Amino acid sequence: MDSEERTTNRSEQKSRKILRSLIRKQPWDLLLVIGTGVSAAVAPEIPALCSWRSCIEAVIEAAEQLEVLHPGDVAEFRKKVIKDRDLLVVAHDLIRKMSPRTGDTKPNFFQDCLMEVFDNLEQHIQNPVVLQSILRLMERGTMVLTTNYDNLLEIFGQQQGKPMESLDLKDKDKVLQWARGHIKYGVLHIHGLYTDPCGMVLDPSGYKDVTQDPEVMEVLQNLYLTKSFLFVGCGETLRDQIFQALFLYTVKNKVDLEHYMLVLKENEDQFFKLQADMLLHGIKVVSYGDCFEYFPEYVQDLTAQICKQRSPGTSCVDCAKRKLGENDLDLSKRVKQSDNVDTSAGDLGIVKNFETQVQGNCAGPPEREAENWALSTPEFQ
Range of the domain at 90: 48-117
* Residue 142: CATH number of its domain: 3.40.50
pLDDT by residue (tens digit) across 255-266? Answer: 577 999 999 998
Rg (CA), the chain: 25
Q: Looking at the predicted structure, is the pLDDT value of residue 80 above 50?
A: yes
Higher pLDDT, 348 or 28: 28
Please report the sign of the dihedral spanned by the C-alpha atoms of residue 31, residue 36, residue 38, residue 42: positive
Q: Looking at the predicted structure, is the pLDDT value of residue 348 above 50?
A: no
* Mean pLDDT, residues 173-194 taken together: 93
The total number of structural domains that make up the chain? 3
* Mean pLDDT, residues 106-127 taken together: 86
Domain final position from 254, 288, 307:
307
Listed range (117-121, 157-161, 206-210) with the worst mean pLDDT: 206-210
- The answer on 268 and 126 residing in a single domain is yes
* Mean pLDDT, residues 254-279 taken together: 88
> In sequence order, what are the beta bridge partners of 168?
189
b/e 335-373 (16+ beta carbons within 10 angstroms → b): beeeeeeeeeeebeebeeebeebbeebbebeebebbbeb
- The answer on 183 and 62 residing in a single domain is no
Q: Looking at the predicted structure, is the pLDDT value of residue 248 above 90?
A: no
- The answer on 245 and 370 residing in a single domain is no
% of the chain beyond a pLDDT of 70 = 68
- The answer on 239 and 256 residing in a single domain is yes
State residue 315's pLDDT score. Answer: 46
Whether 246 contacts 279, CB under 8 Å: no
State residue 34's pLDDT score. Answer: 94
What's the chain's average pLDDT? Answer: 78
* Single-letter code of the amino acid located at 332: S
- The answer on 248 and 167 residing in a single domain is yes
